[in-house]
Amino acid sequence: MSAPLLDRFGRVHRYLRISVTDRCNYRCVYCMPAEGLSWLPREHLLRYEEIGRLVGVFAKLGVHKVRLTGGEPTVRADIEALVGAVAAHPGITDLAMTTNGHTLARLAPRLAAAGLRRVNVSIDSLRPERFAALTRGGELGRVLAGIDAALAAGLRPVKLNAVIIGGENDDEVLDLVRFAGERAPHLALRFIEYMPFGERWHRSVPSAELRRRISAQHALEPLPAPAMGDGPARTWRVVESGLELGFISPLSEHFCATCNRLRLQNDGHLRTCLAHEDTPSLRDLLRAGADDDALEQAIRAMVMAKPEGHAALITGGVPFEGVMTRIGG
């Protein structure tokens, strides 16, 4: 094992998110325009063997937690082969995936067998028509079936991710708490503040406001603050159901000071901060013949240059750079 992967602020990085594709079978209103995006040419995407090799380098640098994202990771062919390759790396002890759940009913058993430990499913509404509108064509029934399949396959916990947008779905917060509470403790719920990329098209709702609304109906007790590396959510428990309820608040409650996450984009760029995209491409180094020592040196240099944080706020501030489908969230 090499020395810890430190930045200049003393943050130790043990968590790598990998976007395996920019393609998606949904067109969520907060993620991309209605007309969609121009997908990257396939030859620009990291190949599975390239991802596998980079995971090996990161594992030697102390990374033990990996999350596969997209776009939508399950639209990439033979995704369970990549799951198996990543899970087989010594040192990777926690392998998860974030998905929209559209094909999870079919894939969950195969992903679990390949080595996936847990899954986050995006679900921003429990009303079929609204869900279809927010995702521009998504089918709520398929996602619900995917959640059931993930639980049946033994993926634990299954976490539901709900991006809350003012005036569009914030009236469903209590409905989501009830739905998840009926399936606790194997199901957890995360409310995520809407993050503006490029321009602000929707209204973010502060997590404190969501907690106020929920606590008016349900007794909440705070859970211990997560250790660095356990994720950005501030967690509470709904007393009557035992539901673990998390709030991810990148705008109203910045967690940059404890950020230990790195994001490997599908084009090979290592994004050290969600808000900034000015990093070189590890893909280009790989294809130029760099050995593992050269890759390690490049990664260390990028992480050492990681900014202290971002400047986006609930209202105003500086929007995040780039396109979410290429970053992986």
CATH (domain of 205): 3.20.20.70
What is the rounded CA–CA span in Å between residue 122 and residue 97? 11
How many degrees, rounded to 5, is the angle at CA 268 between CA 8 and CA 77? 140
Structure confidence at residue 313 (pLDDT) = 45
Structure confidence at residue 1 (pLDDT) = 66
Q: Is residue 67 in a domain?
A: yes
Q: Strands of 234-238's sheet, edge to edge?
A: 220-222, 234-238, 244-248, 187-193, 158-164, 118-122, 94-99, 65-69, 15-19, 261-264, 270-271
pLDDT in tens, 227-265: 544 567 889 999 999 999 999 876 666 567 778 999 999
pLDDT in tens, 84-120: 999 999 999 999 999 999 999 999 999 999 999 999 9
Question: Under 8 Å CB-to-CB from 152, ≥6 apart: which residues?
Answer: 108, 109
pLDDT in tens, 115-137: 999 999 999 999 999 999 999 99
**Domains in the chain: how many in total?**
1
What is the rounded CA–CA span in Å between residue 192 and residue 233? 9
Q: Is residue 303 in a domain?
A: yes
Q: Is residue 3 in a domain?
A: no
pLDDT in tens, 266-296: 999 998 987 677 777 999 999 999 999 999 9
Q: Is residue 8 in a domain?
A: no
Residue 328 has pLDDT above 80, yes or no: no
Torsion of CA 111, 114, 119, 122, to 10 degrees: -30
Q: Is residue 2 in a domain?
A: no
Structure confidence at residue 321 (pLDDT) = 47
Percent of the chain with pLDDT over 90: 73
Which helix (H) or strand (E) segment holds residue 220: the answer is strand 220-222
Q: Which domain holds residue 235?
A: 15-327
Interhelix angle 292-304/48-60, rounded to 10 degrees, is 70
